Amino acid sequence: MLAPMEGVTDNAFRTLCYRNGADLTFTEMARVDNLSRLKRGELEKITITNKTPTQIQIAGAKISEYEKFLRGFKAVEGFMGFNLNLGCPSPAYIRQGLGAAMIKRVSRVNDIVRLINRSGFECSVKLRLGLNGYEKGKGIYLNLIEGVDASFFVVHARTAKQTGRDPADFSVYAKCVDTGKRIVANGDVKTKKQAEELEGIGLYGAMIGRAAIDNPGIFNELRVRDCS
């Protein structure tokens, strides 16, 4: 899968990666409060202009905003469901209880996923391991995975405190897979050897971000099997 990346994963880049073997792609994150108010810039982020399989990534905590947005939402060809962002590390988002601050809010996240499902759409979740090492140690990411009925969980194996230069912690994936849910690995995936290692752990798939900017052909190069 191609990772959601602000300013990068527009329709053209998503299609380039799809043609090079990405099974599924994601829009950059859009805020549900802005979408529910029909803000043009936000609506542009989630516009799908071709048939490339795409999940729309959204962030928000208020049920009423999701209800309002979903009432006016029309699915187009290529749309494959929504992905909830529980990973954004921006302090401004975290102060508002959004992004990685949502990992602890299991029952709210489940309510959002159910609402999206009731509206007729699939919903996956992308999360980090917690806000910091303490939350990671407490296993809050496992509570979330166990407590939420999403179609799959993309686990970006870093905490919100860590930067992209800190190595992703591949050791967490086995515990995630043990929950019995579909788990997609994310963070520093760039070699075939890693892809095979992840396949051996029983992951549902892998998501690639920065390595795809350098080489959009990476999806076919790392393919171990179809993500279906």
Ligand X SMILES: Cc1cc2nc3c(=O)[nH]c(=O)nc-3n(C[C@H](O)[C@H](O)[C@H](O)COP(=O)(O)O)c2cc1C
* List of residues contacting ligand X (CB under 6 A): 3-6, 8, 28-29, 57, 85, 87, 126, 156, 164, 186-189, 208-211
Q: Least distance in Å: CB of 206 to ligand X?
A: 9
Q: Least distance in Å: CB of 155 to ligand X?
A: 10
Between residues 43 and 64, which has the closer beta carbon with respect to ligand X? 43
Between residues 64 and 192, which has the closer beta carbon with respect to ligand X? 192
Between residues 64 and 220, which has the closer beta carbon with respect to ligand X? 220
Q: Least distance in Å: CB of 189 to ligand X?
A: 6
Kindly calculate the radius of gyration of the chain based on its CA atoms and give it in whole angstroms.
Answer: 16
Between residues 168 and 177, which has the closer beta carbon with respect to ligand X? 168
Of 63, 144, 57, the closest CA to residue 103 belongs to 144
Q: Least distance in Å: CB of 47 to ligand X?
A: 15
How many CB atoms neighbour CB 4 within 10 A?
A: 26
Between residues 43 and 120, which has the closer beta carbon with respect to ligand X? 43
Q: Are 20 and 47 in contact (CB under 8 A)?
A: no
For 164, residues 6+ apart whose C-beta sits below 8 A from its C-beta are: 158, 210
In three-state secondary structure terms, 186 is strand
Cβ-closest residue to ligand X?
Answer: 209
Q: Least distance in Å: CB of 30 to ligand X?
A: 9
